[in-house]
Structure 1
Amino acid sequence: MKRLQLQRCSSSVLSPRVRTVNCLHQHIYGRRYSTAPVERQQEIQQNESIFEDSDAKEKLLARIVKESHIRGSQLSYPSPPVEAAKQSAKLAALHARLYLPSRLPVETLARTLVDASADSNPEFNNASLATLGHDLLSYYATEHLICTYPRLPLTVIFAAMYAYVGPKTLAAMAREWGVELAAIPGGEVDPGLLQFNRLEAGAEVPNPPPSNPARPYETAKHYRKTVTSKVFYDDEFGDSLKGKTDAVTSEHASAEFVRAVMGSIYLHAGRPAAKRFFEQHFLSRHLNISELFNFRAPARDLTRLCAREDFERPVAKIISETGRKSRHPVFVVGIFSGQDKLGEGAGASLVEARERAAVAALKGWYLYSPITVRVPSAMEEPSAAPWKPVHVDLGEVIV
């Protein structure tokens, strides 16, 4: 039986379902079929022939509605919409895997996964949360190091800070948490993926232009960058400040995500939950601080340290030896200040053993830690005991 061709003016007698299909066809393929390309008209004729089968009609209607919804709503956003967070299984799994507080909604967790390079709107990216989390991580890590090891040199503190809350450490934590990276940010991306605009291979992140005339090392080619200038003008790791770009690396985006998670926990669950999260995920990582030292002249540094502390001049003495005239001799040398032994070291020669003994003596001094360690943030607890001042050292030996 030949199918009847309904005219345009006869649309009033069509069933509501057919009229809906025609409207969707006009919305997707164009307002008029005659203005569409030849390939589009062939596709329309194929779709019209499918209407003779009722099952295929239902499937086509569902597909057209789905395509119309995607094209009209999600693709226009640079990041996934807020209401899509509750539909993401990746977000729910990440929330449960990190054992985040129940007061932290999945919508905020989805926002922490949107970098500022992917969505410039501050209401939908993680820039503000990352700034708060960055300050919290720096504060908790600094007070822990200074109160636990009050004699650490500044260079060692910078290295320990980088090991605890540095960008490489935060990026490694994001990988351990199972966070996956999105290839390209957009409204159709799963909210459980980390979205950022990737930096091209070989591109360099520019430094900010010098704005303070008191920073001569920014313009001078041969200028010695001192530790004092790192404290005043650089970041908490002693590195130069970086400028902002439209594209970032995966390491930077992962670090910003971890910082944003810390900031969101502080906002939604409060200070105790944020500090507990820091202790569980950051302080629980083992860091051997004794391996961060690098002494160039340990014997000279030890002599100046004893002079500053009014100790007797250090003297190296042989404690034991074996195989002096063999191919593999071993010497054990101790550094003494009066009757007190400051350090001990073993080596294949007397000079090597003396240097190792001096290094052991310096590490014993700088790695001093009080018996009870209490940080300033402990006073924020409701039932906190009266504050007792922590040990304040004179600082490192300036060579």
Structure 2
Amino acid sequence: MKRIASQQMRRSLLSPRPDRILSSTFSNPLYRRSFGLSTRLRQDAPVTAAPAVASEPVLDTPSTAADSASEALRASRKISAKLSALHARLSLPPRFPTQTLAQCLVHPSADRRANANNSSLAVIGQDVLAYYTAEWLLCNYPRLPMQILFAAQYAYSGPRTLSAMREEWGVEPVAAPGIEVDPGLLQFTRRQPGNAMAEGGMARLKDATSADNKPATRRSNEQWNYRRGVSSRIVYDNQFGDLQQNGSDPATAPQNPDAVTIEDASASFVNAVFGALYLHAGAQATQAFHHAHILSRHIPLHTLFDFTHPTRDLARLCLREGFEPPVARLLSETGRHSRSPVFVVGVYSGSDKLGEAAGSSLDEARVRAAAAALRSWYLYTPPRENIVLPSQSSTAQWKPQMIDIGEIVT
């Protein structure tokens, strides 16, 4: 797999430092000759641009006003206590500038300028976050079915999880964006509730929705309904197996610049932090940050399974793998003639016990035991010393990972 060129992405996505722009402009011979300065720089004194900037004429144009606003915003970012506290709370490396962290807190709905919001950083962060989570799940649980893999991916890095992470990090959202807002707060334009009154106070927003959009939405849904199988979800849908917007990824699709929910804004902020960390600190720091904030969460994967016919699936599994047919055996029981009987049944393949479960009847215990046997098969984990993630191949000796032949199809 080709490694992402982080240096080129850093130059194209991150805004250049003001001191580099100023030094390159001041060292230009044509610029120095126009102000009567010597073309040879002094080596015993640092280059300063104060005289040249002071003598340069200032034009009252909209671009100058925007630059002055940006300078004021940059100056306010430097003295933000909330921003510095957030930088220290997340244990971000010194190479991660505070100005970039402030840019991660600005949603495109609050500022449409590409170099001032977190849209570009969120796209990179979403891909990096999805890649690191997917490779960890596939290497540690190589037999997971695709639907369970999608559910686990959503549980680890879905919008709800990222919104909860934003609350854990202590980032507070603002009521309305503006230049006077502290840069350490999450800025976005809130979406109004569906039952809010429209302009004029004569109708509600949910009733004032344009009917012209409904046929287009219906046609879009009908277009995707015929290929909503598991294979289609792998190829066409996003990393969570959800339907994409107009056949494209929601991260790359044009977002609504008017209003978003707090969950979407929080997910965009966390994705932007991951993207900026990858650009500034590299892959190793991003992997450590991902392990500390994403993989450290405990997700009970066994609760994600929901079998409809576990006994039939277990029989197909034993037939495919060449095992003996499964047989259910009663291990223990209590209170057979009472109101609350308990039966413990085990499923065996020859002399090997595949699963065990308890139930209030023999059939219920047998079905639960078959489901437990299937869960133990799908949740198989290779030995820890044999697990080497593809992203860690540059720092550890590569070992081929286990690739299962697939789930049971009945």
User: TM class by shorter-chain length?
Assistant: 0.7 to 0.9
* SS of the residue 2:357 aligns to: strand
The count of residues paired between Structure 1 and Structure 2 equals: 319
* SS of the residue 1:319 aligns to: strand
Map 1:168-247 → 2, pairs under 5 A:
168-202=160-194, 218-219=221-222, 223=226, 225-242=228-245, 244-246=255-257, 247=259
1:355 maps to 2:389: no
Which position in structure 1 is the counterpart of 2:249? none
1:388 maps to 2:399: yes
Encode CA deviations 1:29-48: one digit per residue, 9 max, x unaligned.
xxxxxxxxxxxxxxxxxxxx
Q: TM-score, normalised by structure 1?
A: 0.75
CA-based RMSD of the aligned residues comes to 2.6
* SS of the residue 1:81 aligns to: helix
Which position in structure 2 is the counterpart of 1:376? 390
Encode CA deviations 1:173-225: one digit per residue, 9 max, x unaligned.
00111101111111111111111111121279999x79xxxxx9832597472
Q: Which runs of 5+ in 1 are unaligned?
A: 1-71, 211-215
Q: Check conservation: 1:318, 1:333, Cα contact below 8 A.
A: yes
1:318 maps to 2:310: no
Which position in structure 2 is the counterpart of 1:136? 128
> What is the deviation of 1:74?
8.9
Structure 1 residues 344, 196: closer, same or farther in 2, change over 3 A? same
> What is the deviation of 1:83?
2.2
Q: TM-score, normalised by structure 2?
A: 0.73
Measured in 2, the distance between the counterparts of 1:350 and 1:301 equals 19
1:307 maps to 2:299: no
Q: Partner amino acid for 1:285?
A: R
Q: Partner amino acid for 2:234?
A: V
Q: Partner amino acid for 2:330?
A: I
Q: Partner amino acid for 1:163?
A: A
1:89 maps to 2:101: no
Map 1:1-399 → 2, pairs under 5 A:
81-202=73-194, 218-219=221-222, 223=226, 225-242=228-245, 244-246=255-257, 247-372=259-384, 373-381=387-395, 384-385=396-397, 387-399=398-410
Query: Which region of structure 1 is more displaced relative to structure 2, 197-206 or 233-242?
Result: 197-206
Q: Partner amino acid for 1:363?
A: R
> What is the deviation of 1:82?
2.0
* SS of the residue 1:380 aligns to: coil
* SS of the residue 2:393 aligns to: helix
Encode CA deviations 1:77-108: one digit per residue, 9 max, x unaligned.
69972221111111011111111111111111
Question: Which 4+ residue blocks in structure 1 deviate beyond 6 angstroms?
Answer: 72-76, 203-207
Q: Which runs of 5+ in 2 are unaligned?
A: 1-63, 195-204, 246-252
Identity of aligned residues (%): 53
Which position in structure 1 is the counterpart of 2:29? none
Q: Check conservation: 1:147, 1:375, Cα contact below 8 A.
A: yes
* SS of the residue 2:238 aligns to: coil
Structure 1 residues 254, 261: closer, same or farther in 2, change over 3 A? same
Structure 1 residues 124, 75: closer, same or farther in 2, change over 3 A? closer
